[in-house]
Amino acid sequence: MIVEVTTVPMTRGEGLGTLVLVHDITREKRVQQMKTEFVSVAAHQLRTPLSGIKWTLKMLLDEELGDLNNNRRVRGENLQEQPKNDKFDQ
């Protein structure tokens, strides 16, 4: 169990005491952890197919899979030069 403790001084003239609030934040922490794990897995799943596509495109441009005509080479080179998203291209 994860708890958050807050203390509030209770005063009226002289000190009456301290109010102590204890709040169970176990569920909130678990939800936060699940969100973090989800984002990590989703980013990995998005990055994995992109790596395969990049690898295949490089093989095509290097003509490892056969000859390319000029039109297809230009299209492939244009795809290779697309702006990169730093979150996914690491």
CB 33 within 8 A of CB 6: no
pTM for this one?
0.49
Report the pLDDT value the prediction gives residue 25, as an integer from 0 to 100: 96
Report the pLDDT value the prediction gives residue 85, as an integer from 0 to 100: 59
CA gap 50, 77 in Å, rounded: 16
- Residue in this structure with the two tokens 């441009």, named with its chain if needed: 61
CB 38 within 8 A of CB 30: no
pLDDT digits (tens, 9 = 90+) for 29-53: 999 999 999 999 988 888 888 788 8
Residue 90 has pLDDT above 70, yes or no: no
CB 44 within 8 A of CB 87: no
Rg of the chain over Cα atoms, rounded to whole angstroms, equals: 28
Comparing 23 with 57, the larger pLDDT belongs to 23
Report the pLDDT value the prediction gives residue 86, as an integer from 0 to 100: 52
